[in-house]
Structure 1
Amino acid sequence: MTTDAVLFKPVSHDGMICEVRSPFGLLLRLEGTITAVEPTVEGDSAMTGNTALIHNAWAYAKNEKLFRRFKDEKKKQSFRKLADAHADVAAEIAKLVDGLGDDTRPGWCSACYARTTHHKVKTGRLSLSAYLCETCGGPTLKCAAPQCDNMATRGAGSARIPRFCAEHRHELPSFERAADKIATVDAYEQLRVFDKSNLSRGSKYAMAGAFAAGVVGTGGLLAAPAVGGAIGTLVGGYAGAAAISYGLAMLGGGAVAAGGLGMVGGTYVVAAVGAALGTALGASITSAYVSEDKSFAIRKFRDGPGIPVIVARGFTTEKDPNWKSAMQMVEKRYPDSPIYRLHWGSKELSKLAALAVKNVGAKQAAAAAGNAAARAGKVAAKKLAPIAPALLASDILKNPWHTAVVRADRTGVALAGILARTQVESYILVGHSLGARAMITAAETMGTSKDAPRIDTVHLLGAAEGKKADWRPLSEAVTGTVNNYYSTKDGVLKYMYAAAQMGSVAVGLRGFECKYSNIKDRNVSAKVAGHSEYFDNVRLL
């Protein structure tokens, strides 16, 4: 820990108590278990009324608990880093709570994106001015841009550096227009028309404190004040405002090559994002992801009066400029529908595709027939030598598979954010390989929002998604059928996927095999002998 203002006390195997004391002695006391999204809260009203303080203190407690529980040194270091960062934020907010005065000012908050009241904090003569947002509790100050009345997020300490609001950092196109709708999905660029100039380009300090910086530290957590309330990358059970804020903060942070959202992709935080679809919070995430992926594009292929169809390809097909097979497949099944092509992850998919060989694994599959151990990661890695070291690299910067997986999840979240802003009742999603993974994430994200368009049908082809997940969110998100076309002869999934995922079995190789009646496994092994053969040989049902 980096501060004595925040104290931790274990209570039983799963329980703990966290106490935060301000310099003046004001108390915040939290108690609960490692699986509790929201703890019980006691203490002085000035402390218990600050959402950011509560969520960061509780995030500290959970990370501290896990630091003490795990033996693996890498995991312990990760939990230690997060625990210390959240403790620092909690201590910083507690210090500001002591100086709360009666002066207030209205303005858009760059931490929670609400137009709300900000309460001025009495700081020292040499300190950076500070406010606390009435809605989220996050530290703010007036945007440094001339004649801007928005509130920027405030970093820690007394350094007098320029701070700009979310509009002037281009984290958000517009506070006012955050809920605007577009007619069709290919008009998504209209959602990214920025109202203000990007002043962050002119100052190396401008992004300090912004959660888009991608570094887990005090500044980033102050910028997303409720981060860690649910600490959802560590435990399940997203619910309430804490889950929303935490999930969005993690989704917004970091370059994909560095892991970004904690290497969990969109699948663990879709509830948080879904609840914010169509709001300023959701708009900021969509904008961040689309800006980060220079290859992202949604292009109309065919018009029509039917339900719109979105098609995404995977790493063995995405770089191929020939979409003929994919378009013909979809046209045969949906002749009256408008069809859109989703382009994504060119950089990540290119690196991954360089490791793949066309129809890799066909011979190996025959040689390994009947050998159950061939499904394990180490065996799969042997089959794929010499590319196995790259797939098994523990360093995320050197592992093209995991960077591509994170990009697929982010693409799914970004797509959901765009679909939620359209004036369309429902969509059909078609995805191949990691493109199928992106569509699963998109559907699950959409399913958590009651106001978003419905997902009518999903078609998954050679889906690079593990079998062990809980598929209830996917089942409930789709009003019709999830058709999963799998092939036991798909060598990429049998060996390359298994090696990278440490023996996990892809649903594109063996099927979901789940209990939900609207998730249908379609065995196409007789027609598909390789990972790139689905579009040419499968008929959509």
Structure 2
Amino acid sequence: MGETKDGVASPDKPRPSSPADHTASTPKQPAAATGDTPSDMPPNGRQRPNTPKRDVDLSVLLTASEKTELVSFVAKVTDNMQRQIVHVFDSTGINDSAIPTRISFWSRLPAHLRDLTLGTPQKRPEARPTTALQKENRNPQIPARTTVNPATGVENPFAKAHEQSASGPRLQELKKEVLLHFKKWQGTVHKRVSDINVKRPEPQGGISSYGSRRGAPPPYSNRNRLRGESNRAFTVETDPNLTRMYPPTATTLLSMPADKRVLLLHALLLLLISLEHYSAYSRILLLNIASSLQIPLRILADDEVRVAKGLSEIARDMVPEELLQKKVEETKSAKKWKVAVASAAGAALLGATGGLAAPLVAAGIGSILGGIGLGSTAAAGLLGAMAENALLIGSIFGIYGARTTAKMMEQYTKDIQDFAFIPVHGSIGQDAEIGKVLPENRRFRIVMCVGGWLTGESDIVSPWTALGHQNEVYAVRWELEPLLKMGNALDTVIKSAAWSTAKKEIIARTSEPNSRPRLSAEITDEHGPVFASLFQALWPVGLLKISKIIDNPWNVAMVRADKTGAVLADVIMNKSQGERGVTLIGYSLGARAIYICLMILAERRVFGLVENVVMMGLPAPSDPLVWCAMKSVVSGRLVNVYSENDYLLGFLYRTSSIQFGVAGLQKVAGIDGVENVDVSAKVSGHLRYQYLVGSILKHIGWEDIDRDRVAQNEAALAVVEKQHREREHKRDSLSPAPEVVKLAEEVEEKIQIEPIRTRARKSRAKKK
């Protein structure tokens, strides 16, 4: 493992010094004149063009004391974000003195993924004898702090063996790497905010703590009015959901009028975009600032859409490949020509707008919908090079790097037969390239949605149409044929009489206290009847007889899901999505692919690229250390949606490593920062997730939902449920005679007892 693209060294390489250490140990370089200091370097490590540095003058909005408060406020918010990262690791109770053994993450991925090239290969743990089926479906096995799994309350028979043979980096080393990467981003943001200039003098008489002295005019009197400002009141409503998820940080900037607080948030958005990326950290920072300034989330989301549309218009008609190819043949300095072409393309759009391109002026960049604004010059200063460089804009949206996804697929043709990104809104082509959407549909935030099974090709996109237009949404098409086979197999089993009878039998077994062991009763009370049946292997014989219908398609699809997760991780690491944060949503085996993706990102130390993750009905471990590793690469929300009544998931997962729990059947305990959402009341079967994606996202407070589409999906589910009830009623009305039922029970009992009698006869024969 070498150094990642973000500049964070892996554990087997020397770590780069922090910004503070670099400043203390390295003499000042003349690069300050060119803007190439380490803190100014973009996250992808490329050299910035030698463009003149723009002056960021916000005198029209802030006073000198307000600017000082803003710098302090941003520092406090980022410090709170850092403490939250530390708290996630500390909540597991893991520290160097408590656990002397080291924790490996890559070795706990499925066996068929460990041969992928990751630089220096890590030592594998000693193999234990397992069946071929268990090898294909083995889940990541992570040693617990004790031999008791906190998720199940059951002793883990493999914990001691893992503690003795585990190798790899300590969990504390992962924590240090996360903090190192975060501090580099934090230092860049602090420097950019500190560069803001305020030339407006304080009002006569002075102000103290944003309140005017007696006899002095208030700081926001008419003489300090912004461009376009009027005397009419500007009000915004509070957002209780945003305040609950992102607790406010105290600041005296809250005393500013509502319109100026909204304009300040807009200015900070432009300032963060000027860093030539809009990472997950930047988005979380703005959410915290909006909560602290009592600005509703919808205003920030609408502002992001407006700015994204304006910037994408600049790069609409530019085709840099043709221009660059001609110049490469004529000159040796292709890099300088690339910068010149981009700057010329941007300069052609400037006109007489005072430094802001015409599409940005048309989009109202630098102003808010209320009419007040900063002016074109101030807005251009906030955006920096992004205000005129079309190549930089194309880079942030992933327009010019989209072909890397198609090239990447060639490396995985042996493992992945079908992989592509299908735009859900505003598509201009269905192929394996991200970014092929209409300019008006480009956004600063991208959502990748991964389904779990298919009953038709339309199911690739249809579950995700409930997501609104504030994000750039893509449905991941992967392994079409295996998913269609699995979907048909699941549908066949669900409609069978054997499944209906088995489900009733499981409920009867776990609902009678006198008919189950003590351990099963404890597990049932805490995790539901499905997990109890899974742990005790209490599956009806009739159900096991038809298991061959779904076991093979499920096992094949699970292996393909793991490999799809590896490809998805490479797509994110290579920034095919551009310099934007990624949100991942999936259900069933799609959630499994996301789980593998996050584990690989954690192993490769790729931080700050994933914003939010929602996994529904996840067939993967609920061990807290696994989720701590995943949370290290998720800057925002990490949501586990589970149902204790998902009988189908429990049956399909019965051959896997259940001693580490099942996230799709129970909550993830023992770690903070993971949201557990129990949907047992809505999800009584695994196949319901396909119809309830929008309803579940709405339930967890997702910010961008098409409520009309959610209602349509719920209506479609109601039709399916009605057909199921009619089928069950018809089957019950045609129930066999009591004599036939009794004979079937005797045959089933004989089938269960006969192997025991056979083993007893063989044992007696050996003794003789």
Instruction: Provide the TM-score with structure 1 as the length reference.
Output: 0.44
Higher relative contact order (CA 8 A, sep 6+): 2
Question: Which of 1 and 2 has greater Rg?
Answer: 2
Higher helix share: 2
